[in-house]
Chains A and B, each alone.
Chain A
Amino acid sequence: EDQVTQSPEALRLQEGESSSLNCSYTVSGLRGLFWYRQDPGKGPEFLFTLYSAGEEKEKERLKATLTKKESFLHITAPKPEDSATYLCAVQASGGSYIPTFGRGTSLIVHP
């Protein structure tokens, strides 16, 4: 059974204090790993797809990396507007295209 575990559950940072969110996964064969951002009361917004170990993607202050067992979402010099819940999901190559989601990391950035 595919599993996705995100840590920490919640993270509080000061503005400018860089940190990383973790997404550990167990799948039969990874087809894609997805990162989403979700603001309160809204649907998740797609950020990145990573396909293979060693791959990296960047968008503004966010950088996603991937190994064979986990992915990190690095946040460099965060701003209060980066406050959101970040969701990770994996899609296995075993046949089903249904992604398995983690429970998310709630990030709060204080000014």
Chain B
Amino acid sequence: DVKVTQSSRYLVKRTGEKVFLECVQDMDHENMFWYRQDPGLGLRLIYFSYDVKMKEKGDIPEGYSVSREKKERFSLILESASTNQTSMYLCASNPGGLGSPLHFGNGTRLTVT
């Protein structure tokens, strides 16, 4: 089974802090994704990566950056956390190609105070 592991289940950070969310997948998948999920808004794509060191903006990249130095690891960085970035963050991966589903981690619930 595919395993996507997010390093933290819960995080509490202060406004202005730099925040790192880490994600690791163990199935040698080409593609990795970061979403945030908010009530009533559904899943919104922040960034995705289709190869090491490659990244593409999703629908809501403002205030975020990403890093993919190794194939199995995809990091989401909040440069200066703000209260409106309080959310559930979900990492996902898939092997690439059309017709392949995403496999998600269990999420990181981030609260910015």
Interface, chain A (partner B; CB < 8 A)? 31-32, 34, 36, 41-46, 49, 51, 87, 89, 91, 93, 97-99, 101-104
Set of chain A residues within 8 Å of B94, measured between Cβ atoms = 97
Please list the residues of chain B having a beta carbon within 8 angstroms of any beta carbon in chain A: 4, 31, 33, 40-43, 45, 48, 58, 90, 92, 94, 96-107, 109
- Note all chain B residues with C-beta closer than 8 A to A89: 101-102
Given contacts A101-B43, A104-B42, contact A51 B107 (CB under 8 A): no
- Asked if A97 meets B98 with Cβ closer than 8 Å, knowing A42-B107, A43-B90, A43-B106, the reply is yes
Q: How far is the CB of B39 from chain A (nearest CB, A)?
A: 10
Tell me the number of A-to-B contacts counted with CB atoms below 8 Å. 57
Distance in angstroms from A43 CB to nearest chain B CB is 4
Please indicate the chain A residues that have their CB under 8 angstroms from the CB of B92 in the complex.
43
If the complex has contacts A98-B45, A98-B48, A101-B42, are A91 and B103 also in contact, measured as CB distance less than 8 A?
A: no
- Chain A residues whose C-beta falls within 8 Å of the C-beta of B96 in the assembled complex: 97
Cα–Cα distance between A94 and B98 once the two chains are bound (Å): 10
A34 contacts B109, C-beta separation under 8 Å? no
With both beta carbons as reference points, the residue of chain A lying nearest to B56 in the complex is identified as A98
Shortest C-beta distance, A50 to chain B (Å), equals: 10
B42 touches A44 (CB 8 A): no
B31–A43 CB distance below 8 A: no
**Interchain CB contact under 8 A, A32 and B98:** yes
Query: Using Cβ atoms and an 8 Å threshold, which residues of chain B touch A46?
Result: 101-104
Which of the residues B40, B43, B101 comes within 8 Å of A49, measured between beta carbons? B101
